[in-house]
Amino acid sequence: MPRTPAPDEPEDDLDDLPDTHTPQPVYYAEQALLGALLLEPHRLTDIAGIEPDSFSNYAHGALFAAIRALPAPDPVQHAKDINWLNAVLAAAREHARGLTASYLHTLIQVCPWPKHASAYARMIEADHARRTLRAHAERLAQTATDVTLPHAVPATLAEADALAAAVDDTAARFPPHSGALPRTPAPGPAAPPDDAEEAADEERLLLATATAHPADIEPMRWLSADDFTHPLHAGLWQCLTALTRRRAPIDPVTVLWEVQQRGLLTPGIEPAELLDLLGAPAGSPQYWGERILRRSLLATARQVGQRVEAFTDDPATTPYQLIVGSRRAIAELSAVRTRWHHATSPAPTPLPALTRATAPPRAGPPRTTAPPAARISR
């Protein structure tokens, strides 16, 4: 099978170059479409939804751009000579110098049915959508784990917006149909973060500080037990929020009793250790809570990116299954994003209540009495 070299490679015959990898099915769809257009250029009017960069093979994209740029030849004349093919080849070789006349004839020969050109284009469009979503998912996962970024959360959310926009664009191109749930299994549990010990320390500091300042717990409804990396810490936070809802007294001993009532005291957890953990406050609950939520948001973004990547890696996943699976994954990140917004947005300043002294005067009915000069005397 011929391979298209990079634009700066020598102008050797493509048929004589060895294969470097097994072509995917879309490669044959690209060959079939180009062969159909070279054989019957008028079928270009039936092609929609693809651009030169929609092709997985660079030379194929350059050839499609050349076909689209040149005026279609007269069908009768095209059947008699190869002038138009030579013009297409010359235009395409400006960007892909490895293209040869023999490869164009190969494309014509391997095209099963030129009248199926629109179907081949649809296959190319679907594969391009898959590659586009995968590229956005990769960038999302990489950005969420990039420790060198000075503002990781805004950068990660920007990549999430770009992924969501790509999903919406794909949805506009491919109508819904039945059986749309993706069959690809989700990736396994995420590996412990590199800063697992730092995360555990921050969670312990939050729990101790919240126990010392219970009035700060209720405003922190934006923090969920799912944001914690350690199961015991998640359970302790649930104990604190439960005591807050019941308006019960909160101190290390009352929290320890709530832990026992919830069955969290296992053989590996000593009561004295919990009392020590809850008795060492530092800083403010808001600060530690935001740190924990920030880590949870970035971890969720990484998992969303990896899940969408898994969908795109499955060749059996249809474009609309990609849409459904990706939107469900993005929705999970959106939920954490909303809570992050509540945690970091300043509280609105309440307006002062209006009193009789400060309330504006009510507008009375319009005056209908004529001025003295306009009155009519009897």
Tokens of 277: 């953990």
Distance of CA 336 to the CA centre of its chain: 14
Q: How far apart are CA 97 and CA 213, in angstroms?
A: 71
Interacting residues of 49 by C-beta distance below 8 A, sequence separation 6+: 121, 122, 125, 173
Average model confidence (pLDDT) across the chain? 86
Q: How far apart are CA 297 and CA 334, in angstroms?
A: 9
CA angle 161, 166, 167 (to 5 degrees): 95
SS3 content of the chain, % helix, strand, coil (to 5): 60, 0, 40
* pLDDT over 90 at 202, yes or no: yes
Q: Which of 132, 142, 138 is nearest to 165 (CA)?
A: 132
pLDDT digits (tens, 9 = 90+) for 20-63: 678 899 999 999 999 999 999 999 998 989 999 999 999 999 99
Distance of CA 140 to the CA centre of its chain: 7
Rounded alpha-carbon distances, angstroms, from residue 96 to 26, 28, 33, 38, 360:
20, 19, 18, 17, 75
- For the ranges 3-7, 33-37, 113-117, 164-168, the lowest mean pLDDT is seen at 3-7
299 phi, psi to nearest 5 deg: -65, -40
Q: How far apart are CA 158 and CA 144, in angstroms?
A: 11
Q: State the pLDDT confidence band at 267, using cuts at 50, 70 and 90.
A: confident
Q: What is the pLDDT of residue 268?
A: 83
* pLDDT over 60 at 362, yes or no: no
Q: How far apart are CA 99 and CA 34, in angstroms?
A: 13
Q: What is the pLDDT of residue 369?
A: 45
pLDDT digits (tens, 9 = 90+) for 309-338: 999 999 889 999 999 999 999 999 999 999
The more confidently predicted of residues 266 and 204 is: 204
Strands annotated E in 127-286: none
Q: What percent of the chain has pLDDT over 90?
A: 72
Tokens of 232: 């015991």
Q: What is the pLDDT of residue 21?
A: 72
351 phi, psi to nearest 5 deg: -75, 145
Q: How far apart are CA 49 and CA 317, in angstroms?
A: 20
Q: How far apart are CA 374 and CA 188, in angstroms?
A: 90
